[in-house]
Amino acid sequence: MVSLEELPTAVLLEIFGWLSPSDLGLLLRVCRRFYGIVSTHGSLYRDVFLTFLDAPQRRNVNWMQEIRDIARLKSICSKKYTKKDEDHVLVCSTILKLLKDATPRPGGQAPRQLPTHLPSYNVDFLSSLFKDQNILRKYMCRSSLYHGTSIGQRSRGSSNDPLIQLSAKLHCHYGKPAEKPIVPAVASLGEPYDFACAKVYNLRHYTAESFWGPFKDDGSGEVDWEKVEASMVVMAVKTSRDKASLWTMPWREPFAGAYAQSYASPHPRKELEPLDPTDPYGISGTWMRLICFLNWGDLQMYNFTRRPETLRSNLKSLFYDQGVSHMVMSLKVTAMEEPGPDDSPDLPVVHFTGFARHLYHPNDPDISSDIQGTCRLTKEGEARWTTVSTFNSNPRWKTECVQIGGVRAAGPVVGNWFSADYDARGPVGPLAFWKLSDRDVWDVEAKDVFPKVLANVFDRAFRPVTG
């Protein structure tokens, strides 16, 4: 009987190509022949990578290094808590690189619970790494939300520590917020949800340098991922607690839609607008928008009280009555222009118009508005959305957001809303919106994007009365 190490090299390469990245490294220790085969056949690393993961779209891929990074990532994520910063950097950077390289799985169909999200091998692999909540908290919970340092007038702004920003960015792409603080002593003050509310409703974070949105306070236009994380935590936790999530919210599955080009419309658009084929961001269509807001009196008390210790003791009650508004937006592209000096030169600036209607009260003129806005690519490569909501031709609210996952991602666009005249007294708050369909709101097949109960609500609101 022929032993494994006596098989021809071609046969062994075929067998080894089905091993996992971790097992491939172990072959180097088995025998001299296996070491020679594994160390000299670069194509073997490519075959192993492409067996389990999406093919990278970039050129000059170092397959051997990619496999080593994947194997080390899996090993680190299976270990107990470590405070090695180099491990943290490797984990976050490798995961974000895999999300950047992710592509829709060939022939893959969007699942019923996520009808606009195309599956990906990279996303499946990453999701398997964080089934243990302890692992998740180890790498995604380094921000102020999990250490209780975002409360009151003297709270610091977002950290410029690259590790903290990297951790917050990873958490935003993971999408499912961790709900318990890292430091046990902080639990007596509140939960990450409370600290997130404290951050998004702190008027001192809304400045001209940050464009009143989820950007750093230095005027650079770079995304402040701690701010994005705070908005995500507020909306995700609030809707889950209020049972307002009658349909699938974008943060219920790990890494769902957290990569570029992951959006898939449940049904194609009936008629394309003239500019739609050249719009790189996929703007035209129907979107769901979620807005959270705080009672005016609570907002003023939180921001202008002279007793920070009172805020800490009443943190939970202060944000208890936070409101939620569910809006449906219909958008269409109207113009394109060359990117400006502060934009990435890779994509144009796209202008759009449309309207927003409350899902449950679509005919109420006080909460329905017209919308105009732009989408552009920042120098960092992030999709930045700006909108202005007008009532009777008067601008009232403005938003600044970034899209989780990048251009044409199925992930949500997350950021902040505020007064269009930049009133320093507010109101302000977090918001998110995500695409439901490429079709205009009047042509959406509600049963394809909503559960039955909400589909009936949508149809009553947006189906024209006939007969």
What single string gives the DSSP state of each residue in 221-267? --B-HHHHHHHHHHHHHHHHHTT--SS--TTSSTTTT-STT-B--SS
> Tokens standing for 371?
């919308």
Residue 169 in contact with residue 94, Cβ under 8 Å?
no
Q: How many CA atoms lie within 13 A of 187 on its CB side?
A: 7
Rg (the chain; Cα; Å): 24
Taken as a whole, the chain contains a residue count of 467
pLDDT given for residue 154 in this prediction: 46
Instruction: Please tell me the distance from the alpha carbon of residue 197 to that of residue 7, in angstroms, as a whole number.
Output: 63
Q: Using CA atoms, how far apart are residues 375 and 384, in angstroms rounded to an integer?
A: 6
pLDDT of residue 348: 97
The pLDDT of residue 233 is 93
Q: pLDDT by residue for the chain (467 residues), tens digit each?
A: 667 776 777 787 787 777 788 877 777 777 888 777 777 777 888 888 998 899 998 888 899 899 989 999 988 887 665 556 678 888 999 999 999 999 988 766 666 666 788 889 999 999 988 887 778 888 888 888 887 655 544 455 567 788 899 999 999 999 888 766 555 545 556 788 888 998 999 999 999 999 999 999 998 999 999 999 999 999 988 887 765 555 557 777 889 899 999 998 887 777 777 888 899 999 999 999 999 999 898 898 888 875 555 565 566 777 878 888 889 999 999 999 999 999 999 999 999 999 999 888 777 777 789 999 999 999 999 999 999 999 988 999 999 999 999 999 999 999 999 999 999 998 999 999 999 989 888 877 777 777 666 777 777 777 654 44
Burial (CB < 10 A; 0-12, 13-18, 19+), residue 220, is middle
Residue found under tokens 């490798």: 94
**Cα–Cα distance between 29 and 309 in angstroms, integer?**
60
How high is the pLDDT of residue 108? 66
If you write DSSP's letter for every residue of 316-352 in order, what string do you get?
A: HHHTTT-EEEEEEEEEEEEEEE---TTB-TTS-EEEE
CA angle 406, 439, 350 (to 5 degrees): 45
219 DSSP 8-state letter: S
Q: Which helix (H) or strand (E) holds 36?
A: helix 32-40
- Burial pattern 69-98, b for ≥16 Cβ within 10 A else e, equals bbbbbbebbeeeeeeeeebbeebbebbbbb
**Using CA atoms, how far apart are residues 148 and 311, in angstroms rounded to an integer?**
12
pLDDT given at position 39? 74
Q: Is residue 416 within 8 Å of residue 292, measured between CB atoms? A: no
Q: Using CA atoms in the order 418, 421, 422, 425, what is the torsion angle rounded to 10 degrees?
A: -80
> Residue 404 and residue 239: Cα distance in Å, rounded?
19
Domains annotated on the chain, with CATH: 4-76 (1.20.1280.50), 121-462 (no CATH)
Contact 278, 351 (CB under 8 A): no
- Rounded to whole angstroms, the Cα distance separating 225 from 439 reads 31
Task: Phi first, then psi: give them for residue 354, nearest 5 degrees.
Answer: 170, -155
Q: Are 354 and 329 in contact (CB under 8 A)?
A: yes
